[in-house]
Chains A and B, each alone.
Chain A
Amino acid sequence: MWHIIKREIYNNLNSLRFALTTVLLLALMITNAVRHIREHPKRVQKYHDAVTASMNLLTSRAEDSLYTLAHEGPGTLYKKPSPLHFCAASGEALLPDRVDTPHGSRGFWRLEYPDVNINMKNVGPDVSQIDWTFIIGYILSLIALLFTFDAISSEREHGTLRLTLANAIPRHTVLIGKFLGALVSITIPFMLAMLVNLLMISSASEVHLNTEAWGRLGIILFIALLYTCLFLALGLLVSARVQRSAVSLVILLLTWVTFVAFMPSTLAALASGFSSSMSQHEYSHRYGQNYHTFRRTWRHAWYQSNDEKMLRIRGEWHTQIAVSGERLAGEYLTFKITQVQRARAITSISPAALLQHLFEAFAGIGLDRYQQFTENAQRYAREYREFVVDMERGDPESRHIMGVRQGMSQKPVNPEAVPKFEDTLNLGQDFNTVAIELLLLTLFVVVLLAGAYLAFVRVEI
């Protein structure tokens, strides 16, 4: 078996496709790294500036009074940019990077989710960026097919397969040998290009990859290898079934074009075109209705009286409006994201879509990450409100009426004690969200390998 693997590797290393693969992958990975080194520091700087501005606002509010803190809120919350932006960049520019915390002149602050940034000013051509998803999803998969399309069929054409099998070697050993040989010879240029890429990125002083990022990169690498195995197995399967290598390549190419290049967008478009959604109009309508319901219930709140009962009613009104408005906005956001995720789930038949989903999840980018970020923000909002309630209880001079200036503590708060928003990534949660995709990808590989085995065992030579 080692003999077969060695022969395969030597054969491949000397071939034209190996040289071309190396050049192509190196060029792509270097472009990717250069772009990341150029863009990432700007992103990080922007994030830090924004967070600092937010923190200053929070400090000044805390130094003013507890009421200001409760009324105006913690300031805009920002999403931390992922250090693994080079793994999956597409779609990231569209997603908002913050959660707003607006407040009215009297009403309380609440979380509000900004809309998707659609760039309608850029009149330039529309292209996808070169990220790892592109390099591995499109290029490496194509190369994997090029390495295996003639693995069995050409040996049969040349008659060398008969010679090999005339020795006392079981067929599955030959197949596994071919598979591993192809895997190793494709991994060599890939690893080389990837190492150059990572070396460039990690040696740039402005970009910092921490231990967690390296761990995530390890997982991403594993997924990339799994994905390559899928296409190698597919190549072997078709190569074993088909008599001529030219036919085998045509079948493989057409499969590739359909499943990798066009299936994701076609299916997504189909799914999104035929799902109805709650329109913006309907949402605004529901929001307005909600407001008016409260208005009817708490009509008295508008009297400018300062007696305790009126204050309580007014406080209740402010609190309820903030709470229900925030809940409605949250529900609307979840609804929209779920709708897109459902459309995206249908594209999981395509391995390239699976790969993109997995990469996005583990690189901490994309829709799932955005949802995680909004959940973090919601958790923080709860924590922040609990803190305000606690501080309010601790002030003996206050009248303890939440929601109105006259009823709340006017004392300044120590800015250090106020909880700060920390946007964190959670690897365990990422695993949970994409467990099914990971399983599906593995399943594809196993099925295709088993198919290749069966096809090869039954084939006549």
Chain B
Amino acid sequence: MFLTLVRRELLDNLMTFRFAAAVVIMLLLVVANTVVLIKDYELRLADYNTAVKTHRQELREINKTYSDGMLGVWGTMILDRPPNPLSIFNTGLDKRLGNKIKVSHTFVPTIWDANKYEADNAYFNILTSIDIVLIFQGILSLLALTFAYDAIAGEYEHGTLRLVLSNSIGRGYVLVAKYIGAMVCLLVPLLMSLLLALILLTTSTTVSLDTDDFLRIGGIVFTSFIYLSLFYLIGMFISAITRRTSTALILSLFVWAFLVLVYPNMILTAVDTVPRTDTKTAAYNQIKQVWEELERKREQFLRNDPIPGESWSLGLDFSLSFDDNPSRLVYHTDIAGALETIDEKSEPLVPHAQNLFRFLGPLTVSTAERVWLIRKPAFEEIYVQPANRGRILLKFSPAGLYDAATEAWAGTDFNGTRDFFIAAQRYRQAIVNYFHDEKIFASRQWFSSDQGAVDWDTLPQFSFQRSDISINAKRALPDLFLLLTMNVFLFIAIFLVFIKSEV
């Protein structure tokens, strides 16, 4: 009997016009957008590859000394953030945040120090962009509601519910049968469009997906399924309590408009989530003080230097590298040297310079780390906290939960994007350790290339792997769990309403 019910539901849904229309619309939109998104990803990947090549080349061609590579103006050591191929599914922050970051022992790199490649026409950013999850978020939920609004109310109106229940079958089974029948039907457009998107992805030569990526896509599909089910249950709930199809339809559409369209935009319009820049000044002053302390120590060291009356340039052709930008909480200063030859007259000065840098290098590193302790909470307060507040408010809508969970799967959420910058911080630490171990700060090559240029290949090399699938899962789990709980609650509610209702 149960199987008969499921089969009936399935056939009922499959033969309808709305099913055909749903499939066609989904396929059209997903295919059109996937083509565009893949092209966009390819362009970004090409930009990334050229940038990696030029940055590598520039570092080797322009910078002959260590200090110039760390502090110079041109061709310094720069890391590039690769675009995430799963941004095709959910763009998240992948496109918005900066994608090149400088590595230097004078500061610990963060998201907020990164820069972007120059776009050919940045005005295109005015046009709104779209990704596959956004299509699912809008259309799947709408489809689920159009499938659900007459699930109970329709049968009630036609009197078929009475017929079904006159058989010896529990009311719970009827509900489950309806649910299974409709969900199987709804899965068809979801899976078909995903399949087409995947075919397009795999035919593209530049997009390379590994096993983990397919598992992540699996996670996105699973989340989509839970989201779909939630909206189907919302529709069913409305159908069960209103018991009239026309009322159920209107009510579910308003609920849809509110949850998907209105609430996410309205809550963030009403509550301010823009970065709070007013707290910047205090942190900046602190940072400046720390660096001024270093400057004082440097001056003291120079005063006690055996060569009296010399400035920081020591009579050699050093330059003062200086960066002061209150809006970015940046203040650092160091001495850089890019000497190509040292004549005999200056040769006696070299040991002094080496002494200076032996003193200054570790001091700069420790100052940078002290500044990091100030910058970290400041950035947290200015940028991360308002953003998190916005995210939490968004979680009151299933659409927000869905978006957050798929972002986490794709690795384009805040944590996923930050992984790259954490890797950059780790790389900086590796470089600094290397400098310590090899006594680079005190070496001649720190400021002069007269006895041979720096071989940049001997330094530790940077490599970045996106986080493991288990970490993606861990990040997506809270939102996924919330979605699942909502599903269960709604199902219980529907069951209670349906059990108690008169037929």
A residues adjacent to B (C-beta < 8 A) = 15-17, 20, 24, 27-28, 31-32, 34-35, 90-91, 94-95, 115-116, 118-130, 134, 138-139, 142, 146, 150, 154, 245-247, 249-251, 253-254, 257-258, 261-262, 264-266, 268-270, 272-274, 277-281, 336-337, 339-340, 343-344, 366-367
Which secondary structure characterizes the binding site on chain A? helix
A34–B22 Cα distance when bound, in Å, is 38
B21 touching A116, Cβ below 8 Å: no
Known: A127-B265, A265-B129, A273-B40. 9 other contacts (CB 8 A): A24-B257, A120-B97, A120-B116, A123-B387, A127-B268, A246-B150, A253-B146, A264-B127, A269-B36
Q: Mark B121-152, 1 if CB is under 8 A from A, else 0.
A: 11111111110000100110010001000100
B120 interface contact, C-beta 8 A? yes
B396 interface contact, C-beta 8 A? no
A94–B37 Cα distance when bound, in Å, is 22
B261 touching A138, Cβ below 8 Å: yes
Which B residues lie within 8 Å of A154 (CB)?
Answer: 246
List 20 interface pairs A-B (beta carbons < 8 Å), by A numbering. Answer: A17-B254, A28-B262, A90-B128, A91-B126, A116-B125, A118-B125, A120-B116, A122-B383, A123-B93, A124-B387, A124-B390, A125-B387, A125-B390, A139-B262, A154-B246, A253-B142, A269-B40, A270-B35, A270-B36, A273-B36
A245–B400 Cα distance when bound, in Å, is 31
**Pick from A115, A116, A129, A257: contact of B25, CB under 8 Å:** A257
A250–B33 Cα distance when bound, in Å, is 23
Closest CB pairs A-B (n = 10): A124-B387, A268-B127, A116-B122, A265-B130, A130-B269, A250-B18, A269-B36, A91-B126, A265-B128, A279-B120
User: Closest B-chain residue to A124, C-beta based?
Assistant: B387
Most A CB atoms within 10 A — which of B96, B98, B123, B253?
A: B123
**Pick from A90, A121, A280: contact of B120, CB under 8 Å:** A280
Size of B's binding interface in residues, CB under 8 A: 74
A116–B262 Cα distance when bound, in Å, is 28
B97 touching A127, Cβ below 8 Å: no
Given the known inter-chain contacts A139-B257, A272-B127, please indicate yes or no for A119 contacting B96, CB distance below 8 A: yes
Which B residues lie within 8 Å of A253 (CB)?
Answer: 142, 146, 253
B275 interface contact, C-beta 8 A? yes
**Pick from B25, B33, B275: contact of A258, CB under 8 Å:** B25
Which A residues lie within 8 Å of B138 (CB)?
Answer: 257, 261-262
* B 1-39 contacts with A by CB, 8 A: 17-18, 21-22, 25, 28-29, 32-33, 35-37, 39
**Pick from B112, B249, B266: contact of A27, CB under 8 Å:** B266
Given the known inter-chain contacts A32-B269, A257-B139, please indicate yes or no for A340 contacting B387, CB distance below 8 A: no
Most B CB atoms within 10 A — which of A121, A270, A336?
A: A121
User: Closest A-chain residue to B260, C-beta based?
Assistant: A261
User: Closest A-chain residue to B146, C-beta based?
Assistant: A250
A142–B145 Cα distance when bound, in Å, is 15
Given the known inter-chain contacts A27-B266, A336-B121, please indicate yes or no for A139 contacting B261, CB distance below 8 A: yes
The minimal Cβ–Cβ distance linking A98 to chain B, given in whole angstroms, is 16
Which B residues lie within 8 Å of A270 (CB)?
Answer: 32, 35-36
A31 touching B40, Cβ below 8 Å: no
Which secondary structure characterizes the binding site on chain B? helix
**Pick from B29, B114, B266: contact of A262, CB under 8 Å:** B29
A16 touching B122, Cβ below 8 Å: no
Most B CB atoms within 10 A — which of A90, A125, A251, A339?
A: A125
Given the known inter-chain contacts A27-B266, A124-B386, please indicate yes or no for A266 contacting B32, CB distance below 8 A: yes
Which A residues lie within 8 Å of B359 (CB)?
Answer: none
User: Closest B-chain residue to A244, C-beta based?
Assistant: B17
The minimal Cβ–Cβ distance linking B112 to chain A, given in whole angstroms, is 5
Which B residues lie within 8 Å of A34 (CB)?
Answer: 270
A351–B282 Cα distance when bound, in Å, is 49
Q: Mark B78-120, 1 if CB is under 8 A from A, else 0.
A: 0000000000000001001110000000000001101110111
Q: Mark B245-282, 1 if CB is under 8 A from A, else 0.
A: 11101110110011001101110111001110000000
Given the known inter-chain contacts A35-B270, A257-B142, please indicate yes or no for A123 contacting B249, CB distance below 8 A: no
A279–B142 Cα distance when bound, in Å, is 41
User: Closest A-chain residue to B39, C-beta based?
Assistant: A273
User: Closest B-chain residue to A23, C-beta based?
Assistant: B254
B182 interface contact, C-beta 8 A? no
Which A residues lie within 8 Å of B121 (CB)?
Answer: 277, 336, 339-340
A121 touching B275, Cβ below 8 Å: yes
B273 touching A340, Cβ below 8 Å: no
User: Closest A-chain residue to B126, C-beta based?
Assistant: A91
A146 touching B253, Cβ below 8 Å: yes
Given the known inter-chain contacts A16-B247, A273-B36, please indicate yes or no for A264 contacting B391, CB distance below 8 A: no
B253 touching A142, Cβ below 8 Å: yes
Which A residues lie within 8 Å of B414 (CB)?
Answer: 123
Which A residues lie within 8 Å of B135 (CB)?
Answer: 262
A264–B126 Cα distance when bound, in Å, is 12
Given the known inter-chain contacts A128-B128, A266-B130, please indicate yes or no for A367 contacting B250, CB distance below 8 A: no
The minimal Cβ–Cβ distance linking B34 to chain A, given in whole angstroms, is 11
Which B residues lie within 8 Å of A266 (CB)?
Answer: 29, 32-33, 36, 130
A122 touching B21, Cβ below 8 Å: no
The minimal Cβ–Cβ distance linking A5 to chain B, given in whole angstroms, is 22
B257 touching A31, Cβ below 8 Å: no
The minimal Cβ–Cβ distance linking A299 to chain B, given in whole angstroms, is 28
B246 touching A118, Cβ below 8 Å: no
A95 touching B126, Cβ below 8 Å: yes
A268–B40 Cα distance when bound, in Å, is 13
B127 touching A343, Cβ below 8 Å: yes
User: Closest B-chain residue to A150, C-beta based?
Assistant: B246
A277–B121 Cα distance when bound, in Å, is 7
A257–B18 Cα distance when bound, in Å, is 14
Given the known inter-chain contacts A246-B245, A265-B129, please indicate yes or no for A118 contacting B116, CB distance below 8 A: yes
**Pick from B96, B128, B146, B253: contact of A264, CB under 8 Å:** B128
B126 touching A265, Cβ below 8 Å: no
**Pick from B118, B123, B246, B275: contact of A280, CB under 8 Å:** B118
Given the known inter-chain contacts A262-B138, A270-B32, please indicate yes or no for A124 contacting B128, CB distance below 8 A: no
Which A residues lie within 8 Å of B25 (CB)?
Answer: 254, 257-258
Which B residues lie within 8 Å of A95 (CB)?
Answer: 126
Which A residues lie within 8 Å of B122 (CB)?
Answer: 115-116, 118, 336
Which B residues lie within 8 Å of A17 (CB)?
Answer: 250, 254
A97–B68 Cα distance when bound, in Å, is 37
Which B residues lie within 8 Å of A142 (CB)?
Answer: 253, 257, 261
The minimal Cβ–Cβ distance linking A277 to chain B, given in whole angstroms, is 5
The minimal Cβ–Cβ distance linking B315 to chain A, given in whole angstroms, is 29
A262 touching B127, Cβ below 8 Å: no
**Pick from A269, A274, A366: contact of B130, CB under 8 Å:** A269
The minimal Cβ–Cβ distance linking A392 to chain B, given in whole angstroms, is 38
A257–B260 Cα distance when bound, in Å, is 12
B391 touching A125, Cβ below 8 Å: yes
Which B residues lie within 8 Å of A122 (CB)?
Answer: 96, 274-275, 383, 387
